[in-house]
Chain A
Amino acid sequence: MISETIRYEEKSAVARGIPPGSLWSLTFTDGSRREETDTSWSEISRLERVEYFGMKKSVMVCRFPVKHILVTHDGMKAEIDVPEGASVYQAMRSNLMVDGDKNRGQIVGRCLGLVKDGKVTEELFLNGVTHEVLGMKS
């Protein structure tokens, strides 16, 4: 099973900087599953530079074949069925302003998307500021 080949993470998701209630869950093509509670995305992904709706973007693409991804964040939920030949990515999105009192990055949401043939074909963004799920699809 794919899930059994992946190392289990010792630190909790919160200790890794993930806010409570924010979580990804993967179902691999063989039906096995892993979640963020015991898995680091760095452990299962690689950095790729891809086409992104007319621009370039760096994404951390999962190295394993995925059938389905579910991401929850701040009471919102987004999921994607991954078509054959496509790869999946996700990332936290943070923001920092030049501001004396708050000079620390704040998490503003979480994105997930699909890459096929070096191009992003779909991206969803769980916006923690406006509390809505936004998306783009080609």
Chain B
Amino acid sequence: MSNVAPDITFRDATNPASVVSLLQYVQSTLGSDFLPILQGEQSSVVKFRIYNNYAGNVNIASAFNVNITVYDGSGAGSRTALKSPVFQSWLRVYETGFGENSTPPGLYTAWAGSDTAIGSGPAGLNLYYPEVGSDGLLSNQVRAGSGYSQVGFIELASYLQLPPSVASASWNFSLSVSYEWVE
């Protein structure tokens, strides 16, 4: 039986697992949220999930060799790494869980992944490879469940670590996932 292309979506890590169209990195303290991130400090952690086949369609291919990277922006900036968040590797990511099930959002299993800087800077990796797949194996794939007709996901936590000297500004960059598949 052939499969059709994976249906990959970025979604919230909490119910109702809405599609994520923006990840906002800010600093929160007791009683005060959405503050700017100070020089040399960390942002609050933002969790998200990468789902395959959240809709539960049949015959959906697995996404394998999943990796994550950052670019300067979408559209014209989608292939450049010239802005500070990218070339200084501000973004840090670690895997926090995975799961598969016939019913969205899927059964959750926690995983303590390695904290990794992403970007083109000397401290970062251009590409971040999640350590476990949706099936819990040491293979960076997100399956549409075990039978190509269920939901699968991996969950990631992310935050920004700013260098000691950063100009006061609002910075935009894009987070991207790449994957391979066969029909």
Instruction: Mark A residues whose CB is within 8 Å of B.
Output: 9, 11, 13, 15-18, 40-43, 45, 47, 49, 55-58, 60, 90-103, 105, 107-108, 111, 129-130
Contact = CB atoms under 8 A, between A and B. Distances in A.
Contacts of B65: 57-58, 91
A16 B2 contact: yes
A101 B21 CA distance: 8
A105 B79 contact: no
A60 B183 CA distance: 11
Contacts of A91: 64-65, 180-182
B178 A108 contact: yes
Contact of A40 (B10, B78, B79, B183): B183
Contacts of B129: 55
A17 B2 CA distance: 11
Interface residues of B, number: 37
Contacts of A108: 178
Contacts of B5: 16-17, 92, 94, 105, 107
Contact of B183 (A16, A97, A103, A129): A16
B126 interface: no
Given A17-B5, A42-B2, A47-B64, A98 B182 contact: no
A58 B1 CA distance: 20
Contact of B21 (A42, A103, A107): A103
| Top-7 shortest CB links A-B | A100-B21, A17-B5, A40-B2, A16-B183, A91-B180, A41-B182, A58-B64
A43 B2 contact: yes
A56 B66 CA distance: 12
B22 A17 contact: no
B102 interface: no
B17 interface: no
